[in-house]
């Protein structure tokens, strides 16, 4: 019989704060009532702040981020349109497969799983596309399967330097609200995320930021859609309503999540994720293990994918953590299955929680056969997490000495 807390350190769904959970515990209400907009209009406004857009609009569709992947394609592209994508992890792979299934002509740049978006290769391809056949460029901002964050701003620069008018699609499912994201500044036309990661909610709402350029494209394209139609959604959203019954409890939870995020401040949120992630990465280095990401410049601040040593099956590490220590670690996906386990460090998280994840990972690695010195990763992370405390102690000591 398991006792105590069930620890959740997967990169989504993430932990739901108790105040957010309580905010969702409300009676059912009339989603056509005249005051329903009192709840929703503030959500649309504050989501734009998180996306860092003043010129675009943000819409919410019942579903996960995958629903908004599909909405982005259906509303802005036409069957047979050529698009440019990179495949370097499970989620970029799934986006490629969706685009193909929806009838797009997909030009794929295949890379090692652990690489980032190939900006130089994108630049070459876009520069050679002199007749503008490529209608959209797709970027996975944070590849959750490999713990890799790519530079969206560099892709925008590549488009601009090539004088290319393609739409810029960004998968921000495991980045938006956790990692710096600037929709307007980076010229992102369609930005997709979901409630179950940085927004600290259960899955059930896909959120999409849409530029004016993308809205204009949606008025001309010929892809068939109904439930995911931008025009229907935008028309109803303008008055605070939805074309169909929304998940009202999730909207109440989102209100509380946004309040927490805005109180912390986006820049402070990014800094917190960077600090917590650095502790985890230092722990991995102390174990003598490697990360899936090919280079430190690609390290994600929301998830770390860790390669197990030769002869140690990552699936055993994950199973031991779950069975013995009530802890869920992320699995390796696709070709990384058995070779990688992941520690998610995003959303409602603090130093103590990360230290718990690291200590349980040490126990599980050792039990699976890895040569791990107990406490090595924990100590390495503590060195990172203690820095703000040490500075505060030093300041207090200096003040006392005056």
- Fold agreement between 7-12+266-401 and 18-263: no
- The pLDDT value given to residue 2: 79
Considering the domain 18-263 in this protein, what is its CATH number? 3.40.640.10
- Cα separations in angstroms, 56 against 15, 74, 185, 297, 401: 29, 18, 11, 29, 53
| pLDDT-flagged residues of the chain (< 70) | 388-402
State the pLDDT at residue 399. 56
In this prediction the pTM is 0.94
Angle at 353 between CA 205 and CA 5, to 5 degrees: 80
Q: How far apart are CA 163 and CA 175, in angstroms?
A: 28
**Half-sphere exposure of residue 136, counting CA atoms within 13 Å on the CB side?**
29
CB 198 within 8 A of CB 174: yes
DSSP structure string for 358-392:
HHHHHHHHHHTT----TTHHHHHHHHHHHHHHHHH
What is residue 105's DSSP assignment?
E
Backbone phi and psi for residue 56, each to the nearest 5 degrees, phi listed first: -90, -175
| Calculated CA dihedral for residues 174, 175, 179, 180, nearest 10 degrees | -170
pLDDT of the residue at 389: 59
pLDDT, position 294: 97
Instruction: Please tell us whether the domain made up of 7-12+266-401 is placed in CATH 3.90.1150.10.
Output: yes
Handedness of CA 121, 124, 128, 134 (dihedral sign): positive
- Where along the chain do its domains lie? 7-12+266-401, 18-263
Q: Is 189 helix (H, G, I), strand (E, B) or coil?
A: coil
């Amino acid at each position: 019989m398991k006792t105590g807390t069930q620890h959740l350190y997967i990169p989504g769904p993430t932990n739901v704060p108790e105040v957010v959970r309580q905010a969702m515990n409300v009676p059912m209400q009339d989603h056509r009532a005249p005051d329903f907009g009192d709840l929703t209009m503030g959500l649309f406004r504050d989501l734009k702040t998180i996306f860092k857009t003043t010129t675009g609009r943000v819409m919410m569709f019942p579903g996960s981020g995958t629903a908004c992947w599909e909405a982005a394609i259906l509303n802005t592209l036409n069957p047979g349109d050529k698009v440019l994508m990179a495949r370097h992890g499970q989620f970029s792979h799934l986006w490629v497969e969706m685009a193909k299934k929806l009838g797009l002509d997909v030009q794929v740049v295949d890379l090692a799983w652990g690489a980032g978006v190939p900006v130089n290769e994108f630049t070459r391809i876009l520069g050679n596309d002199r007749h503008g056949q490529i209608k959209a460029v797709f970027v996975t901002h944070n590849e959750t399967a490999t713990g890799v964050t790519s530079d969206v701003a560099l892709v925008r620069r590549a488009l601009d330097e090539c004088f290319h008018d393609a739409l810029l699609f960004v998968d921000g499912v495991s980045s938006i609200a956790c990692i710096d994201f600037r929709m307007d500044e980076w010229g992102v036309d369609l930005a997709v995320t979901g409630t179950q990661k940085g927004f600290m909610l259960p899955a059930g709402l896909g959120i999409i930021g849409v530029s004016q350029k993308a809205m204009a494209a949606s008025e001309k394209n010929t892809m068939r859609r109904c439930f995911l139609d931008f025009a229907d959604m935008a028309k109803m959203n303008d008055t605070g309503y939805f074309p169909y019954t929304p998940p009202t409890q999730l909207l109440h939870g989102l209100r509380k999540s946004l309040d927490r995020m805005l109180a912390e401040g986006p820049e402070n949120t990014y800094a917190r994720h960077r600090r917590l992630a650095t502790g985890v990465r230092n722990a991995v280095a102390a174990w003598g293990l490697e990360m899936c990401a090919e280079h430190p410049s690609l390290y994600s601040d929301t998830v770390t994918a860790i390669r197990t040593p030769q002869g140690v099956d990552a699936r055993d590490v994950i199973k031991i953590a779950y069975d013995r220590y009530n802890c869920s670690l992320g699995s390796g996906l696709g070709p990384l299955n058995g070779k990688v386990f992941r520690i998610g460090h995003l959303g409602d998280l603090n130093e103590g929680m990360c230290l718990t994840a690291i200590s349980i990972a040490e126990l599980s690695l050792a039990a699976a056969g890895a040569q791990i010195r107990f406490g090595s990763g924990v100590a390495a992370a503590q060195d990172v997490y203690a820095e703000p405390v040490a500075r505060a102690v030093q300041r207090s000591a200096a003040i006392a000495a005056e």
